[in-house]
């Protein structure tokens, strides 16, 4: 037995963009994991097959043997087709685990059409969030990027996070005296997520603080497994505010970024070993939890 993980972007391979090759460090960490019972974690990493229409893997995901999907929504609105959303949602309804991550403003907004997790993602134009706290410009250093855009620090640096009580399994870190994950990779303009009010199985599990305004913002929402009205078992899911929490550039800036990334770079993730250990721990927790091994 093994845990089968699909790492997937919502764009076709494009060298000067956030293609799946820019998540190689994440892939390496996942590939070295073992479950408590000794199962391997087998990772498949791919970009979308083509722009437009439906992707042959995502649209048929419910019929695959994957246990979980880590979806990085790096598109400008045209990333997922109708069939893709249907396939991913059916995958979740048959117990598959989902981690769905996006970024600022409307980046990755094609995920709004996903059942359950789509409602947790707040964008500028689509599903803008239930209150004004989600609809203001926080990052004042990049005027071309509109809300939501929370500034948690420079790419390559780390941010201090606050796990919300009760502490979720995803944020446990026994190597810390506090017992919890404390540091996450930073990004100048994170997106916005929240627990849908109509979903009793969803809650915010961690928050961050803006380095420019001091505003508190949500980092991630966890969805517990539960039985739907049709009797089928929904899998676990995570809605994350920024794919930069997992990108090579944010773990190690020397790995490079697309040419359109022009913000100043930090080095905190390289100089603070506890920051790397914390995000690696979160990745392990997420992989096992989504697969029902935790």
pTM summary value? 0.97
CA angle at residue 24 from 19 to 25, to 5 degrees?
135
Give the pLDDT of residue 67: 98
User: Looking at the domain that runs over 2-290, which CATH code has it been given?
Assistant: 3.40.50.880
Q: What contacts 11, CB < 8 A, 6 or more positions away?
A: 17, 18, 19, 47, 48, 51, 74, 75, 79
d(CA 258, CA 245): 16
By the 8 A CB rule, do 157 and 266 touch? yes
DSSP the chain: -EEEEEEEEEEE--TTTT-GGGGHHHHHHHHT-B-TT--EEEEEEEEESSSSS--TTGGGGGGS--SEEEEE--SSS-S--HHHHHHHHHHHHTT-EEEEE--STTTTGGGGGSTTGGGGEE-SSSS--SSGGGSS----S-TTS-SS-B----BTSEEE-EEPSSPPGGGB-TTSTTSB--EEE--SSB-EE---TT-TTEEEEEEEE-TTT--EEEEEEEE--EE-TTS-EEPPEEEES-GGGT-HHHH-GGG---TT--S-B--HHHH-HHHHHHHHHHHHHHHHHHTT--
Per-domain boundaries in the chain = 2-290
Residue 292 near residue 236, CB atoms below 8 Å: yes
**For 225-230, which contacts have Cβ atoms below 8 Å and span 24 or more sequence positions?**
225/95, 225/201, 225/292, 226/201, 228/93, 230/93
Residue 82: the pLDDT is 96
Task: Count Cβ atoms below 10 Å from residue 66 Cβ, excluding itself.
Answer: 19
pLDDT at 259: 96
What pLDDT score does 98 carry?
98
Per-residue model confidence (pLDDT) at position 114: 97
| Residue ranges for the chain with pLDDT beneath 70 | none
d(CA 283, CA 276): 11
Confidence at residue 133, expressed as pLDDT on a 0 to 100 scale: 84
Q: How confident is the model at residue 281, as a pLDDT?
A: 98
Q: How many whole angstroms separate alpha carbon 175 and alpha carbon 191?
A: 29
Confidence (pLDDT) at 171:
98
């Amino acid at each position: 037995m093994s845990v089968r993980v699909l790492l997937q972007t919502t764009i076709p391979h494009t060298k000067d963009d956030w293609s799946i090759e820019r998540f190689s460090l994440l892939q390496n960490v996942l590939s070295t994991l073992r479950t408590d019972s000794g199962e391997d974690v087998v990772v498949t990493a791919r970009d979308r097959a083509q722009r437009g229409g439906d992707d042959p893997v995502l649209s048929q995901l419910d019929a695959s043997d994957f246990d979980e999907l880590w979806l990085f929504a790096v598109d400008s609105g045209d990333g997922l087709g109708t069939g893709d959303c249907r396939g991913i949602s059916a995958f979740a309804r048959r117990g598959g685990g989902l981690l769905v991550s996006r970024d600022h403003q409307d980046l990755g907004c094609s995920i709004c059409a996903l059942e359950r997790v789509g409602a947790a993602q707040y964008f500028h134009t689509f599903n803008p969030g239930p209150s004004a706290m989600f609809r203001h410009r926080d990052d004042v250093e990049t005027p071309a990027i509109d809300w939501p855009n929370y500034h948690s620090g420079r790419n390559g640096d780390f941010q201090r996070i606050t796990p919300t009580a009760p502490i979720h399994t995803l944020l446990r870190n026994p190597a810390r005296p506090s017992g919890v994950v404390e540091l996450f990779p930073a990004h100048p303009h994170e997106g916005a997520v929240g627990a849908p009010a109509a979903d009793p199985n969803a809650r915010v599990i961690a928050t961050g603080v803006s380095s420019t305004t001091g505003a508190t913002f949500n980092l991630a929402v966890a969805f517990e497994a539960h039985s739907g009205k049709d009797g089928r078992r929904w899998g676990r899911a995570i809605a994350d505010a920024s794919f930069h929490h997992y990108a090579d550039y944010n773990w190690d800036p020397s790995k490079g970024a697309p040419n359109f990334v022009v913000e100043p770079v930090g080095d905190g993730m390289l100089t603070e070993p506890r920051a790397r250990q914390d995000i690696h721990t979160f990745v392990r927790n997420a992989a096992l939890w989504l697969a029902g091994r935790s």
